[in-house]
Amino acid sequence: MSLIHQVLVPAMYLLSATLFITGLKQMSKVRSARSGNRTATTAMAVAVVATLLQLGLVDYRWILAGVAIGGAIGAFAALKVEMTSMPEMVALFNGLGGGASALVALSVMWQRGYGGGASQTLWTSLGPVSMITVCLSVLIGSVTLTGSLIAFLKLQGKLKKGAPILLPGHHALSAVLAAGTLASAVGLSAAVPGTTLVVWLVLLVVLAGILGVMVTVPIGGADMPVVVSLLNSYSGMAASAAGFVIGNPLLIIAGAMVGSAGLILTNIMCVAMNRSLLNVLLGGFGMEATSGGGDSEYTNVRSTSPEEAAMVLEDAESLIIVPGYGLAVAQAQHAVRELASVLEKRGCQVRYAIHPVAGRMPGHMNVLLAEADVPYDQLVEMDEINPDFKNTDVVIVLGANDVVNPAAIDDEKSPIYGMPILLTHEARSVFVVKRSLSPGYAGIKNPLFDRDNTNMIFGDAKKVVQALINETKELDKAA
């Protein structure tokens, strides 16, 4: 074995693993998240070079073609995909990662167990460890691929507008599919090269793919942040299993890091919604209440204009902005940043209250506001900012709904009862910017809209904020 394989490649793998860990640590803080992304990108580049060195003399034409095509797609996505579509892209990338891991395992299985002309069973030719990891990689990778595609379609609103879908006998059917995939894996292990092996292989992939669909379709839009995080964890576990299959220690490490980080984040999301992961996976959240929240449900709603809201802001010494998905859809982050700058020049303290499940993926609002160069120290997490609402002059809610719904603490019969929310209703004045009184993902009425200290400003978030900016500047000139 050459010096490159004995010393250089292991050293590069160690460096890459260290950079991955450092990058992940940096991403845990908003202020250092961009540096963390660059660090992790460097780690991946080192890992790719080390892997190519380990392979030695290979035909690089296919590799370079893959790099060129994949790089072009990635560059196009980075430049063209809107921030509002970032959750969909993340879901799609999760699926592609799972699919890639499954393909790696399938190629190894085919080469060693079939293409090599072996006459013994796969369990014997591959060995117990390799056989188990191969099956896990195919199973988890296939579930991740199809599950992520369903999540992508739900986030796009192309599959029943993101609503949960529960088929008759859904859970029983899912259990049968899970048992079928395990049976297929056992059958595959006992198969010898030939038609029987191919049948078991196809059966495992197909059943695992259908299982991925079945575990994702019953999950509604309100649970999308949890789903995206969980599928990300699945893709990491599939990659780690693929690392065992091909004997690549760095892939094992990186996959395990993604898998464990995804599970931790999934748990954080579930805690933020006061729900168990099992409850999320069983699905159907909000199905029984999807008709709530229409105009007829409210009796004390007061509508106001940006001009009147600007007059209230004129005397405000403190403002908390609550961003939601409506802000993302309207691309209002830059306008919000400008409004904050105008008010800060008056001496008003401006902060942003970030709920863990606001938007459609974990950290969606942080990423969106960071794009508009909102200072990191103004982004305050829910637990830290909640005690301050009662001493805040004005709160502006931009497109958020369920995460500010007082029913979560007032109504024991509400499907979101017990879910931690932002205590916006405790502020002296609340302005809610929405296009209409339509309900959020939970499909229920929001009593905040009926509160005496709340005024609705109906319209597109960006246009409303721009109107607020203009009215505020006019008041400044008049003064």
Rounded distance, CA 334 to CA 466, Å?
10
What DSSP assignment string belongs to 153-175?
Answer: HHHTTTTGGG-----TTHHHHHH
Total length of the chain = 479
Q: Name, in order, each residue with C-beta under 8 angstroms of 29's C-beta and a sequence gap of 6 or more.
A: none
Residue partners of 306: CB distance under 8 A and separation at least 6:
457, 464, 467, 468, 470, 471
φ, ψ for residue 184, nearest 5 deg? -65, -40
Place of tokens 């908390």: 320
Strands 318-323 and 394-398: parallel
Selected catalytic residue, list 402, 410, 452, 460: 402
19 touches 40 (CB < 8 A): yes
d(CA 299, CA 297): 7
Q: How far is Cα 229 from Cα 273, in angstroms, rounded to an integer?
A: 14
Helix/strand/coil for 452? coil
Annotated catalytic residue 460? no
Within 251-409, strands assigned E span 318-323, 349-354, 379-381, 394-398
Three-state DSSP at 432 gives strand
CA distance 264 to 91: 18
* Cβ-proximal residues to 334 (8 Å cutoff; 6+ apart), any chain: 372
Rg of the chain over Cα atoms, rounded to whole angstroms, equals 26
CA distance 355 to 364: 10
The single-letter DSSP state of residue 392 is -
CA distances from 184 to 147, 171, 176, 189, 191 (A): 20, 20, 12, 9, 10
Residues in contact with 378: Cβ distance below 8 Å, sequence separation at least 6, in sequence order:
340, 350, 351, 352
Residues 6+ apart with CB under 8 A from 373: 337
19 vs 42: CA distance, rounded Å:
8
Give me the amino acid identity at 159. Answer: L
Report the catalytic residues. 402
